Structure 1
Amino acid sequence: MTSSPTLLTDPFLQLPTESSVRVVWFTEFKGTHHTVRYGKGLAQSVQASTTQLYRTREDADSNLANPPTRLTPRPIWRHEAEVPDLAAGKRLPYQVASTREDGAIATSKPFTLAPKPSPGQALKVLLTSDHQLKPMVAANLQKVAETAGRLDLVLLAGDLVNIPDRASEWFDDANGGAFFPALQGRASYELEKDGVKTRYTGAEILQHTPMYTAIGNHEVMGRYSDTQSLNSQYADAVPRAVAESVYLAKKPFLNPTGDPQLQADWIKNQSFNTDTYEAILSLPTSPTGGKQYYAVTFGDIRLIVLYVTNVWRTPSLAPDARGKYREREQDLNTPENWGYGQHIFEAIAKGSKQYTWLEQELNSPAFQQAKYKIVMFHHPPHSLGENSVPAYTDPIQIIDRDASGAITAIRYEYPQQKDYILRDLVPLLEKAGVQLVFYGHSHLWNRFISPSGMHFLESSNVGNSYGGYLGATKRNVPTTYQEAYPATDNPGGLQPVVPAIAPLLDANGQPQPYIASNDITVFSLFDTGTGTISSYYFDTRKPNSPVVKFDEFRLK
């Protein structure tokens, strides 16, 4: 007997305009037609277009009840419809339905939608980052909804999942904490603390609320393979220039006719890509960056989203480490296995395409006339976390050889004075009057203020933490390299701000200027009506305890 069809996700809202909004959802069947019904009595309808996600796969590492034993494509279909003729400030009910090939229909519950808000409308905005199916995410989002009620916008500063081509991380990981379930109130994540088990569902957010996202390192897949594990492919990113060099050497065999599309596809597949991330989400675009970096107005906010992230490599200096600072000893004579250090995916240095576009955006009337000017990207300009070291710059490869010319070591240096974020990006943003730079990556909460009053906020202690490095707690950094790599504090130079209301205390009873915890989860809310950004924590060891507002500051 054929089972009844189900939707893989609830519908969610994307790309709102002043008079419309996109509704998107996913199924595991292509179907014959897919519909959004909306308005009073759900009497109006619009048909959805359907596309297939062509890179989603599963493998033996997928957290499923019955994972495949080898790398296996997973067919998933995406449905999108634009609901038109909406009135500002008016929220309407909607519902989606997908008809399977046998005529059976899967239908969602009713939710609500609205177009972009008008300027002057007070909004509640969630600032979040680094979900990655981590243990506390569902609890975090559940407490967001209990604290804030209905949100108007979600800003997510990258690292939505761990391995973007692994479908189950987006839709149905067996632990119950996949990306969409947690943000749609369909999670079922059991968190055990001190012998007490509590199951969290996340919150029904995206069904009613649009989201803008930035690309983090976990949105980027490395070199494509039909056989290697998804984890291996994710970790196997190499610079575009390396792939281009290999292509030129093999061009007579790979592309004898010089087909430009074949060339572009081969180089992308042999370096890195954001294809699945871009296929899943409908986002604003820029002429030079597409969905990868863009700007958009939402109510009183002018939001600029940048593609500022690099590949993550281990800080280990062990002989078998393909890391930030060195290549594995076994790979010294096999360049095809080199990782090329912690290389940058998209340039942001002065003169780059992204920087030039940003200069133009900062000079636009839309930006200059906005009440709130916010820039979001993934990599931290200022942070007490592990990932603020080394400097955000192109790795300098140094090859050591013995007297015979044989390679004895390959290492990478990152001069602090060439940090592109601190040297080029931050001064540009500061000069333009940006009020808030929001980012993630290091899985902790901390904030900073520049002398001119520009705020920096990292609110990424959402699902877990890898620690904060202040005082005696030290990062794993080289001590014998040419460059100096800060083991503690913020390499960017600014001092962290102690939370204004209820900071956590260290072992000596002194206020801590950060939160980095695997028991305490943090979220931040921006109220555009008052201009305040409030940060809250919830102690998952005490499931019945209240959420605590511990910090607040105002954008001016």
Structure 2
Amino acid sequence: MLRYFTTRKILAGLFVLVICLTLVYGCFPGQKTLKSAPQLLTDPFLQLPTQSSVRVVWFTEFAGSKHSVAYGDNFQQTATANTTKLSRTREDQESRVGNKTQNGQYKQPVARDIWRHEAQVVGLTPGKRVSYRVTSVREDGESISSNSFTLAPTPTAGTALKILLTSDHQLKPMIAANLQKVVETVGRVDAVWLAGDAVNIADRASEWFDDHGGGAFFPCLQGRAKSQRDFNGVKTSFTGGEIIQHAPMFTSIGNHEVMGRFGKSEGLGAEFNDAIPRAVAMKLYGEKSLKDNSYNTDTYEEIFTLPQSKEGGETYYAVSSGDVRLVVLYATNMWRTPNMDAEARGKYRERDKDLQNPENWGYGQVIFEPIAKGSKQYNWLVQELNSPEFKQAKYKVVMFHHPPHSLGDNIVPAYTDPVQVIERDAKGKIKAVRYNYPKEADYLIRDVMPLLEAANVQLVFYGHSHVWNRFRSPSGMHFLETSNVGNTYGAFLSGDKRPVPPSDKKDYAALGDPNELKPVVPTIAPLSGKNGKPLPYIASNDITAFSIFDTSTGTVSSYRFDTSQPNSKVVKFDEFQVR
């Protein structure tokens, strides 16, 4: 009888244990899938610092309540957040969300509910860092808090800053390694400048927050990525870097921040590629819903809180930090294939099958925001370059996405509006639609660069071509493209040539910088080519590069790391000083 009661107690105990395991882990013993604890979709990150305040932003997948920031000594001060819902974030056939490692989870674009929370922390003292953490309360009453991080207001003049210069993340395979090495090499940075192309498809939510491939935008910049590099069967994991929880980020719009005609395609990738000029959309669809029928930057502008100009809002602006005046321009266009075959809806032609249907035309490499002389953005730039804030700054830097000088592929054709040429047969039927880009009409070279030279801009920073290279004008203005952070599409200095039209060679350079500056060879440890000579660029799918602007010395230092040799050291390979 005693044995019977003992056995019953043991069985009862085991039953209770099983129930407890089920409640805690969401599974029975032996099952491999564990129920993850509710969490914030991102860590908090910093935006729009002023002399006495800074914005704290984070995201959740629940509406919740009581979203707040606790800060200061013992977190005794509190700032309440305003909550908004992202309006266009979706997932589609190409999304990799949750436990899905392959595409195909969705059959068509599906809205994904994501809430954004933003609180303004006030009463800050310049030069003093303050601890903070954020808390959100779910609908079921569970309170979820982040770890503790630090924040500070805008640095005053004379404050030494280390600023990370980066661009073109786009979920590429080396991004997590790149940002992890930033933190391991230089420690905490004071700001991040990102020259466009944060993700591939701006409305695809998982690319910002939780793509299963491990390279989503926020996890990589917050040290929460789970990215692996596999070489010869040896896998190395990289987590990115804990960066934007402590440092404000300033961004410019790249071509991948712009979405095309809304809801007119079966997938988000096709929608992204379906941007057409506003003037064309006006003729085709009228003024109603013009943005939805041309292109938009809605998700980009909803995600970030950036400085604003009266003329351009968050799309182009200027901001001061320490001794630096940063001018951010909206200079990017629609990327289209350089292929010239019959099926190419490309830079240089329309597809044969679309010739009789202008609604399906791509209209070439569309410029999204005018910047030519006389445009609203150009006139704003003239005013900014003559402002006291700009003129009195020790360092004057201009950031945008499209390269004015580059060895990469995306600098060709010229940055100008496509000149459409329609060829018809004797009966008037369209037999070809081509696009020309006169080099002498390049708006950046013809109109913008002379303004920057005259205003004594010291550094022009940009991306787009996924290479590292730099140039210097005869007057001493520096140009830096440090976009070989996640992958490369090659550099064209000798050997392989850019795919360009066979005619009009004066307008389309197959090799070198089409705007005729000579690339600068890295000053410390350049890579060598097959001939043993030093290369003036990094264009590699194994070696990733990042750059740091140190305002205490006025130097810009560039570093590289070979991800195929995970035990190798980070190498400083170039350094120059702005005048």
TM-score of the superposition, structure 1-length normalised? 0.96
C-alpha distance in 2 between matches for 1:480 and 1:308: 27
Preserved CA contact (<8 Å) 1:395 1:414? yes
Match of 2:115 in 1: 77
The residue identity in structure 2 corresponding to 1:512 is L
The residue identity in structure 1 corresponding to 2:460 is V
Pair 1:189 & 2:222 matched: no
Preserved CA contact (<8 Å) 1:18 1:115? yes
Pair 1:494 & 2:517 matched: yes
Match of 1:32 in 2: 65
Name which of 195, 199, 215 aligns with 2:253. 215
Match of 2:188 in 1: 150
Instruction: Report Cα offsets for 1:107-157 as digits up to 9, x if no partner.
Output: 100011100111101110000010000000000000000111010000000
Instruction: Report Cα offsets for 1:462-507 as digits up to 9, x if no partner.
Output: 0000000011220011113586311000001100001111111000
Preserved CA contact (<8 Å) 2:265 2:271? no
Match of 1:258 in 2: none
Name which of 30, 37, 42 aligns with 1:9. 42
C-alpha distance in 2 between matches for 1:99 and 1:171: 20
C-alpha distance in 1 between matches for 2:48 and 2:439: 38
Preserved CA contact (<8 Å) 1:385 1:467? yes
Bigger Rg, which one: 2
Name which of 256, 263, 275 aligns with 1:225. 263
Instruction: Report Cα offsets for 1:141-180 as digits up to 9, x if no partner.
Output: 0000011101000000000000000000000000111000
Match of 1:466 in 2: 489
C-alpha distance in 2 between matches for 1:385 and 1:216: 16
Preserved CA contact (<8 Å) 1:188 1:201? yes
Instruction: Report Cα offsets for 1:61-120 as digits up to 9, x if no partner.
Output: 101235222210000000000000000100011010000111111110001110011110
Provide the secondary structure at the position in 1 that maps to 2:373. Answer: coil
The residue identity in structure 2 corresponding to 1:331 is D
Name which of 455, 474, 478 aligns with 1:455. 478
C-alpha distance in 2 between matches for 1:484 and 1:26: 46
Pair 1:98 & 2:119 matched: no
The residue identity in structure 2 corresponding to 1:125 is I
Match of 1:119 in 2: 157
Provide the secondary structure at the position in 2 that maps to 1:529. Answer: coil
Preserved CA contact (<8 Å) 2:196 2:463? yes
Match of 2:31 in 1: none
The residue identity in structure 1 corresponding to 2:544 is T
Match of 1:51 in 2: 84
> Could you tell me how far 1:368 is from its partner in structure 2?
0.2
Preserved CA contact (<8 Å) 2:285 2:293? no
Instruction: Report Cα offsets for 1:264-297 as digits up to 9, x if no partner.
Output: xx00000000000000000000001000000000
C-alpha distance in 2 between matches for 1:434 and 1:414: 28
C-alpha distance in 2 between matches for 1:319 and 1:385: 25
Match of 1:295 in 2: 318
**Structure 1 gap segments, 5+ residues each:** 252-262
1:118-517 map, 5 Å: 118-225=156-263, 228-248=266-286, 263=288, 266-481=289-504, 484-517=507-540
Preserved CA contact (<8 Å) 1:26 1:79? yes
Match of 2:75 in 1: 42
C-alpha distance in 1 between matches for 2:106 and 2:444: 42
Instruction: Report Cα offsets for 1:382-425 as digits up to 9, x if no partner.
Output: 00000010000000000111222221111100000000000000
C-alpha distance in 2 between matches for 1:182 and 1:49: 25
> Could you tell me how far 1:14 is from its partner in structure 2?
0.4
RMSD over equivalenced CA pairs, Å: 1.2
Match of 2:30 in 1: none
C-alpha distance in 2 between matches for 1:521 and 1:74: 33
Match of 1:260 in 2: none
- Range with greater deviation from structure 2 (2-11 or 196-205): 2-11
> Could you tell me how far 1:226 is from its partner in structure 2?
6.4
**Structure 2 gap segments, 5+ residues each:** 1-22, 27-34
C-alpha distance in 1 between matches for 2:285 and 2:343: 28
Pair 1:546 & 2:569 matched: yes
Preserved CA contact (<8 Å) 1:71 1:227? no
Provide the secondary structure at the position in 1 that maps to 2:235. Answer: strand
C-alpha distance in 1 between matches for 2:106 and 2:246: 35
The residue identity in structure 1 corresponding to 2:307 is P
Instruction: Report Cα offsets for 1:236-274 as digits up to 9, x if no partner.
Output: 0000101111233xx7xxxxxxxxxxx3xx000000000
The residue identity in structure 2 corresponding to 1:50 is T
Preserved CA contact (<8 Å) 1:194 1:541? no
C-alpha distance in 2 between matches for 1:14 and 1:273: 22
Preserved CA contact (<8 Å) 1:413 1:483? no
Instruction: Report Cα offsets for 1:198-222 as digits up to 9, x if no partner.
Output: 1000000010010000000000000
Provide the secondary structure at the position in 1 that maps to 2:453. Answer: helix
Match of 2:578 in 1: 555
C-alpha distance in 2 between matches for 1:516 and 1:184: 26
C-alpha distance in 2 between matches for 1:103 and 1:195: 46
Instruction: Report Cα offsets for 1:535-554 as digits up to 9, x if no partner.
Output: 01001111011101110000
Pair 1:525 & 2:548 matched: yes
C-alpha distance in 1 between matches for 2:169 and 2:505: 35
Number of residue equivalences: 541
Provide the secondary structure at the position in 2 that maps to 1:408. Answer: strand
Provide the secondary structure at the position in 1 that maps to 2:557. Answer: strand
C-alpha distance in 2 between matches for 1:119 and 1:157: 24
The residue identity in structure 2 corresponding to 1:428 is L
C-alpha distance in 2 between matches for 1:293 and 1:484: 29
Instruction: Report Cα offsets for 1:170-197 as digits up to 9, x if no partner.
Output: 0000011100000000000011123321
TM-score of the superposition, structure 2-length normalised? 0.92
Provide the secondary structure at the position in 2 that maps to 1:50. Answer: strand
